[in-house]
Chains A and B, each alone.
Chain A
Amino acid sequence: MNWKHGIVSAVALIIVWQAVVIMTGVQSFILPSPLKVAKALWFYRDLIAEHAWITIVEVLLGMVIGAVLGILTAIHLATSAAARAILRPILVFSQAVPVFALAPILVLWFGYGIWSKIIMAVLIIYFPVTSAFFDGLMKTPAGYLDLAKTMGATRARTLWHIRFKSALPSLGSGLRLAAVYAPIGAVIGEWVGASKGLGYLMLLANGRVKIDLMFAALIVLAVLTVCLHLSVDILARKLAKDH
């Protein structure tokens, strides 16, 4: 995404938003004007920052833990036929359970703190990361493996120097998906039961009819998510460099 295009789109969106508010005369507790939201953003900046920090920690820890678990699982699946036979059906079956439906159970088990949200984010990104990286590991060009074999390569070194390296672009694709899903997981976790975080703040503001604050929290969440996408995109490009 080009920066300039992004800014132009954002400005256009704000203009349309303002125009809708003016033309329809909609009540501000249904749709507050951009200006009102901007004021709320400034007025509640400390409150929003405090809650945003919690959500950031949840999403980032969820991303890191989910990605590490996904990478390890993919390697295990790629190197062990027994693991493929046993784990793959479980993995596929687990996707039949909507992760969102688990949110109440996770809150019950892991409490109202950040861990139930982190685990929610981990669960939601684990499968896309595992699946994308596993695919990459299984698609190593056969010629590379032939070459390694004639060179007397060890299994572990073939895995690291060839299979792992050639699967990095696939890992990048998996992480891109994870960046889309992780904030969703964290916010849904916050909706179900939390005392902190942007998702919680939105519910709180909604309940008190502070719709401008609700929109302000939503915008911060959107900006954070875009930043996460951009960072992961840079990382994914680095992983796919020279491939």
Chain B
Amino acid sequence: MNAAPGISFAGKASIDGTALFAPITLKIPAHQWTCLLGPSGIGKSTVLRLIAGLETYVDFNGDIIASDAQPLTDRVAYMAQNDLLFPWLSVADNVAIGARLRGENPDTERAMKMIARVGLSGHEGKKPAALSGGQRQRVALARTLMENRPVILLDEPFSALDAKTRAEMQELAAELLVNRTVLLVTHDPAEAARLAHSGYVMQPDQLIPMDMPTTLPVRSIDDPQTITTQGALFHILRTGAQ
């Protein structure tokens, strides 16, 4: 993996002339987790998709620049709420799908290592349908690690999981994605309070910077600072102000 760059996102987006979000500036520091928190429909996924270079159906007017001034294409990996596993492929083949899609030879040995790192050794030959929701998201994480990209874009990847599995996945992701530049889009204040080095609450007209705990992520769920931060974030989400 090459050194992870920071990312600067500045611009505004509109759909058929109606503003989706006003000019905003989002600084995503290198090697850190940055969280974009906000209610559904506010455009936070659009920000992530713009950075990923995916289709968005909005008119975007602005700049997305990496700190090393190199293009971001081929340097991002993407994880969504849906695990996006191919049901007709085994766990191992799902993890190695990137190479196949690029016409490269899949590195099976490395795929096995990644599966082991997410704790799914012994499940390599199974089809996704035979796995639980949490296990499927682990496979998706292994697939993301397999891609070995410096920038990781997470679009509510844990929001469909039950509370226990979600907490486990958050810890696993934080451990395995360390030193990468991560943008986490979520609507869950608790997730943001646990995982982010820095973060913003997205409003239609602005980004409100979060006051994050002084401790480093991943933070314990019952840590007093985490709980305070979570409460403060929840307050901003509900009232739209600090």
Contacts and interface: CB of A to CB of B under 8 A. Distances in A.
Contact of B78 (A146, A153, A161): A146
23 contacts: A141-B84, A143-B84, A146-B49, A146-B52, A147-B84, A148-B101, A151-B97, A151-B98, A151-B147, A152-B74, A152-B98, A152-B101, A153-B98, A153-B102, A154-B103, A157-B102, A161-B97, A162-B86, A162-B101, A165-B86, A242-B127, A242-B129, A243-B88
Given A143-B82, A242-B127, A243-B87, A152 B102 contact: yes
A150 B103 contact: no
A144 B84 contact: yes
Nearest to B74: A152
A239 to B, nearest CB: 10
A237 interface: no
A206 interface: no
A18 interface: no
A161 B101 contact: yes
A149 interface: yes
B103 A157 contact: yes
Interface string B104-115: 000000000000
Given A143-B82, A147-B84, 17 more contacts: A143-B84, A144-B84, A146-B49, A146-B52, A146-B54, A146-B78, A146-B80, A150-B52, A150-B76, A151-B77, A151-B101, A152-B102, A157-B101, A161-B100, A241-B88, A243-B87, A243-B88
Interface of A: 141, 143-144, 146-154, 157-158, 161-162, 165-166, 241-243
Contacts of B102: 151-154, 157
B53 interface: yes
Interface string B123-154: 00001010000000000000000010000010
Ranked nearest first, the 5 interchain pairs of A and B with the lowest CB-CB distance are A153-B101, A150-B78, A151-B98, A242-B88, A143-B84
A149 B49 CA distance: 11
**From DSSP, what is the main secondary structure of chain A's interface residues?**
helix
Interface of B: 49, 52-55, 73-74, 76-78, 80, 82, 84, 86-88, 97-98, 100-103, 127, 129, 147, 153
B87 A154 contact: no
Given A149-B53, A153-B102, A144 B77 contact: no
Contacts of B55: 146
Contacts, number: 66
A146 B78 CA distance: 8
Contacts of A146: 49, 52, 54-55, 78, 80, 84
Contacts of B73: 152
Contacts of A151: 77, 97-98, 101-102, 147
A151 B140 CA distance: 13
Contact of A158 (B49, B77, B101): B101
A151 B102 CA distance: 8
A147 to B, nearest CB: 5
Given A146-B80, A149-B53, A154 B86 contact: no
A164 to B, nearest CB: 11
Contacts of A166: 86
A150 B98 CA distance: 9
Contacts of A242: 87-88, 127, 129
A147 B98 CA distance: 9
Contacts of B97: 151, 161
A148 B73 CA distance: 13
Contacts of A149: 52-54
Nearest to B82: A143
A149 B153 CA distance: 13
A241 B89 CA distance: 11
A166 B97 CA distance: 15
A161 B94 CA distance: 11
A152 B147 CA distance: 10
